[in-house]
Structure 1
């Protein structure tokens, strides 16, 4: 089962985007932002994360936004999506990558992220 975990938003100015989207959506940083990366979450209630990342491309020239789809079994979901018409995208992955980049039928890229649901710890009730 897939779920939208993050909407990844490419911007030229991360600090300005944090201010704008926090006010617009009533979100707040999940943790201290860096100069080129931040994760915003709803102040109250649920909803997907908004991951803000610094990019150098111009919005009119390059896809700057994509979805991170969270899966408990990423391999199975990737195969299912490929069967639906997705395609693999050539990508330079870091050694510890927990994601795979795919493209939909129109060429829009998205990530499938291995994200297992945390099981309750019986020792910490």
Structure 2
């Protein structure tokens, strides 16, 4: 049996706005701009993608799943995400020196990691 990872589904109050934010933040392509299921991918023919689906209930607790990104320059990438509208988030990480926790415009946490240990 073969299995292919298709996408990560993100609940959103406004799938279009959140999907556009992530498409801009990641430089990804929009493959479906449906108001209830907005999907982006690294390229139209590349997987996995992110699909943002409309939900009516507000998020009330820390996400149980989050995305991690490892850029060439962590501090520059954190500054870029903040300039796009992300905000710093505290999920109990303490004084970590190797990653920074941020949240997207709807409060979904994600991490920007430092350089990989050699």
Q: TM-score, normalised by structure 1?
A: 0.42
Q: TM-score, normalised by structure 2?
A: 0.44
More strand by share: 1
